[in-house]
Amino acid sequence: MWEQEEKRFFAALEKFDDLLASNEPVQAPLEKLFQGPVADALTHVGQIAILRRMAGVPVKGENYFAAQIETGHVGADQPKPKLEF
């Protein structure tokens, strides 16, 4: 079940990334898109991180400023963190 949901997540993320990279018109202002659903998703990730920390199984922090981020590389196969907090 988890693997199926992981594939579904990365498929949706890739579809979103493809849309943003395409010449297709986005159906909402980008400001609204990022201050709405994208910000909401980041908020929930933060909430999950807090709950995991409270449960004694914290997620390791990563310095995304130093991370190896590549345009269009949105799958589960990501480089290892360069610098953890």
Structural domain spans, the chain: 35-85
| pTM (two decimals) | 0.70
CA distance readout (Å), 20 to 15, 23, 43, 50, 52: 9, 8, 21, 30, 32
- pLDDT, tens only, 19-70: 889 999 988 998 998 999 999 999 999 999 999 999 999 988 888 888 888 8
Per-residue confidence (pLDDT) for residue 69, from 0 to 100? 87
pLDDT class for 81, splitting at 50, 70, 90?
confident
